[in-house]
Chain A
Amino acid sequence: MVLFLIGLASGIISGMGIGGGAILIPALVFFVNPDQHIAQSVNLLFFIPTAVIALIVHIKNKRVNFKLTIPIVIFGLVGAFLGSKLAVSLSGASLKRYFGMFLLILGFYEMVRKDKKETKKQGGRA
């Protein structure tokens, strides 16, 4: 039940276009206490089906700029490989601490950023 609620909260947050992982991973860590790698792998897998559905809708609405997708993905795949290899080579305790630092930056960024008028457009998407 706890897992369902964590998923529910993250789903609500990401449905609003905020960032589900920033809720999902710490919530799992605090309430279920898995290894940090496991919490992150849950989030990665969690993202896949939701992203596929959202992407189909976006492509139909012609909102995806593939001129950006293709070159960024080419470099991104290299980064994803390096980042993931680094993650699996770290201990759970270190990874958790690094994740915490990353989360802190994200939190401050959310705090200071200005809210643009994007919310209305997003409302129609999901």
Chain B
Amino acid sequence: MKGKIPISQYLKFAVIGLVTGIANGLFGSGGGTIVVPAMVLLLKEEEHVAHATAISIILPLTLVSAFIYVSNSYIDWNLTVKTMLGGIVGGYLGAKLLNVCPSHVLRKIFAVFIIAAAVRMII
């Protein structure tokens, strides 16, 4: 992008921003799942730049959402801290594991798992 940014581009920013923000706030997750493909498909951004940029977008949105949840006393610090400790170790292992196990296989396993979970939550 150089020079003036066309109106249509701003419209895309608006739609992507609003949808990502609403989903991430309403479901407490999923912002990245929306904004990464949106940047790749609608804004023609490179995949790895989109991944990195997504974090810079989701972080401020998450701060706002977390503040609203916490100020409405939807918070369990005990649960949060214990889960986070596991998450730190897991994040490290995940990065290592990526070099061993191909992620496309894991993605399909992951998809089956979340579809099953989703069905149980709806019923």
Contact = CB atoms under 8 A, between A and B. Distances in A.
B50 to A, nearest CB: 8
Contact of B110 (A23, A35, A47): A23
Nearest to A39: B28
Contacts of A22: 29-30, 33, 110, 114
A81 B64 contact: yes
A41 B42 CA distance: 30
For chain A, what secondary structure do more than half of its interface residues adopt (helix, strand, loop), or is it mixed?
helix
Contact of B68 (A5, A84, A123): A84
Contacts of A72: 13, 16-17, 20, 35, 57
A65 B84 CA distance: 28
Contacts of A4: 82-83, 85-86
B66 A41 contact: yes
Nearest to B115: A107
Given A45-B66, A110-B110, A84 B25 contact: yes
A119 B14 CA distance: 29
Interface residues of B, number: 88
B62 A47 contact: yes
Contact of A7 (B13, B76, B84): B84
19 contacts: A4-B82, A4-B86, A6-B86, A21-B27, A22-B30, A23-B114, A44-B65, A58-B55, A63-B52, A65-B45, A75-B17, A76-B21, A79-B20, A79-B21, A79-B23, A80-B24, A100-B119, A100-B120, A115-B103
Given A11-B86, A100-B119, A109-B33, 20 more contacts: A4-B85, A8-B90, A11-B94, A21-B30, A41-B28, A42-B79, A44-B66, A45-B80, A50-B87, A58-B52, A63-B52, A71-B10, A77-B60, A79-B22, A84-B65, A99-B121, A101-B118, A115-B103, A115-B107, A123-B98
Contacts of A19: 29-30, 32-33
